C-alpha cells in the first residue's frame, strides 16, 4: 500500500473531507503523533479526558491506514473490544517516539495529494489546497479537522505505528485483519 492508496481510501470513507482534513492526514502521515508529546503528563491527561467519556463501539473500524507505516486507531472501537486504555496510550507513545521524521516526506506527501486533486482521483472541494499546503510546508504546524468533518464523523483516535499495532493485537489474541 502506498500513501496515495491511503489518501484515496480516506476520501472514500469520509466523503465530507475538506482541505483541512487532507492537510491533517498529510501532516500525520509525515510526522506521526510526536507533536502531541512535548509534555508526557499533559499528553496522558488529554488522552484520558478524551477516552474516558467515549461510548464504546466495536462495530466501528478499529483502524484506518494513513500511510504505509501509520494508522489511526479508533478509540471507540478499542474501548468496544474491552482492551486497556493504557495499552492504546502506550502504543501511541511508542509510535511517536519511534516515528521521527525529518520533514522530507511532508513535501512528497503534499505532492501526492496535489496530483490526486489535479487528476480528479479524489472528490471534494479542495480549491484552497494549493495555498494552504504551501503554508503547511513552510510552517510545519499541526492542523485540526474541519468543522464539517468533526460534526460528520466525531473523530477520536490516536496515530500509531501499524507494525506496533499488529504486535499488540497478536498479543491480545487477534489479527489486525479481524477488526
Judged against a pLDDT cut of 60, whether residue 178 lies above it is answered with: no
164 near 62, Cβ under 8 Å?
no
35 near 47, Cβ under 8 Å?
no
Judged against a pLDDT cut of 50, whether residue 174 lies above it is answered with: yes
Mean pLDDT of the region 64-68: 96
> What is the per-residue pLDDT across 116-172, written as a single tens digit (0 to 9) for each?
999 999 988 899 999 999 999 998 888 999 999 999 999 999 999 999 999 999 888
Cα–Cα distance, 66 to 3 (Å, whole number): 7
Q: Give me the residue spans of the domains in the chain.
A: 3-178
Cell output for 168: 499488540
Give whole-number Cα distances, 103 to 67, 68, 88, in Å.
15, 16, 26
Whole-number pLDDT of residue 97: 82
- Residue-averaged pLDDT of the chain: 90
Amino acid at each position: 500500500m502506498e500513501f496515495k492508496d491511503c489518501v484515496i481510501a480516506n476520501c472514500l470513507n469520509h466523503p465530507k473531507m475538506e482541505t483541512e482534513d487532507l492537510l491533517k492526514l498529510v501532516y500525520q502521515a509525515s510526522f506521526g503523533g510526536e507533536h502531541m508529546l512535548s509534555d508526557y503528563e499533559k499528553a496522558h491527561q488529554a488522552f484520558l479526558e478524551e477516552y474516558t467519556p467515549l461510548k464504546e463501539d466495536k462495530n466501528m473500524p478499529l483502524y484506518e491506514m494513513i500511510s504505509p507505516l501509520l494508522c489511526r486507531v479508533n478509540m471507540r472501537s478499542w474501548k468496544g473490544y474491552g482492551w486497556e486504555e493504557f495499552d492504546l496510550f502506550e502504543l501511541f507513545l511508542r509510535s511517536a517516539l519511534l516515528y521521527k521524521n525529518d520533514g522530507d516526506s511532508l513535501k512528497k506527501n503534499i505532492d501526492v495529494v496535489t496530483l490526486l486533486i489535479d487528476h480528479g482521483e479524489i472528490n471534494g472541494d479542495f480549491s484552497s489546497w494549493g495555498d494552504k499546503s504551501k503554508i503547511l510546508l513552510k510552517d510545519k504546524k499541526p492542523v485540526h479537522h474541519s468543522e464539517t468533518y468533526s460534526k460528520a464523523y466525531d473523530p477520536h483516535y490516536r496515530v500509531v505505528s501499524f507494525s506496533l499495532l499488529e504486535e499488540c493485537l497478536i498479543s491480545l489474541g487477534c489479527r489486525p485483519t479481524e477488526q
